[in-house]
Amino acid sequence: MPEAVETGVPGGDVAARHLRTPETDTPVLVVDDLVVDHRNRSTGEVFRAVDHVSLRIEAGQSVAVVGESGSGKTTLAMAATGLGTRGEGDIRLLGHSLSSVGRKELRRLRPEVQVVFQDPHGSLDPRQSVRSGLRELRTLQPRRTDWIDDTGLLGRVRLAPELLDRYPHQLSGGQAQRVCIARALLMRPRLIVADEPTSGLDVSVQADVLALLKEIRATTGAALLMISHDLAVVRSVCDVVHVMYRGRVVESGPCETVFATPENEYTRELLAAMPGARWRSRR
């Protein structure tokens, strides 16, 4: 069984029309002066994981957050999308402030943001086949998800329909991550948050999964928030980069500018530690 199969684009033009998110001038996400503290349960000690961070993601934009392990990337992404520890500061998702939005509105907004995690097997329910997992999502959001059938959806992430009856342990890491991406895609989100989506995968399939994310972004118009400590990945996928260091954003800008002429000492160190990640002209 090959890792991935070229199946064309099942689902047809009708599905393609429904896939594209509506054009809008409203930024997908605006984070204004976010502060997130974690409290150590045993010692009661408070640790500031995100320290006065602001960022903005326009519709369809691809934004990266990079930084060393423990710099606060995941905490920032989870708080910013309303999925993790809330924190202080204003977060506007598709123009709605998360601090003032009602429950009903929040339920409506939730599917607009989909997260793809580092460990695909850890994010799938081991007791559910791919098909029954998709059925559950369809039951939760019948109208959002009726634009494509299961076979068509799997085709979009280049997986054969036979995989529908497999359980997570019967999938390779690359296949499982494609299933996670398919589940995200099914919801037609306006924002896909990808938290180290390839770092748990075999090197041989990392490039395929990245190419898939890029293609999905191009075909759906969804914005992407990519979290990574791999600058080569960021360079190949993102327009804008924010460099985090100890909970703070120490440098931001278009990838081309930041990688070619980093201003911050820490950014320079990150780049120096990643040979080949330095921006080179693609011309």
Ligand X SMILES: Nc1ncnc2c1ncn2[C@@H]1O[C@H](COP(=O)(O)OP(=O)(O)OP(=O)(O)O)[C@@H](O)[C@H]1O
Which residues bind to ligand X, rule: CB under 6 A? 38, 40, 47, 49, 67, 69-75, 229
Output 96 or 229, the one with its CB closest to ligand X.
229
Phi, psi values for residue 121, rounded to 5°: -65, -35
Burial category of 128 from C-beta neighbours within 10 Å (exposed 0-12, middle 13-18, buried 19 and up)? middle
* Residue 98 CB, nearest approach to ligand X (Å): 18
**In this structure, are strands 29-39 and 88-93 parallel, antiparallel, or unpaired?**
antiparallel
In the chain, the amino acid numbered 112 is E
Q: Which window, 26-34, 59-67, 72-80, 94-102, contacts Mg ion (CB under 5 A)?
A: 72-80
Binding partner of residue 145 among Mg ion, ligand X, none, CB cut-off 5 to 8 Å per kind? none
Match 């999502």 to its residue by tokens.
Answer: 137
Binding partner of residue 75 among ligand X, Mg ion, none, CB cut-off 5 to 8 Å per kind? ligand X
Binding mask 23-62 for Mg ion (x = CB under 5 A): ----------------------------------------
CA angle in degrees (0–180, nearest 5) for 9-13-16: 75
Q: Return the closest-CA partner of residue 177 out of 211, 150, 149.
A: 211
Binding mask 74-103 for Mg ion (x = CB under 5 A): x-----------------------------
DSSP state of 165: G
Instruction: Give the footprint of Mg ion on this chain (CB under 5 A).
Output: 74
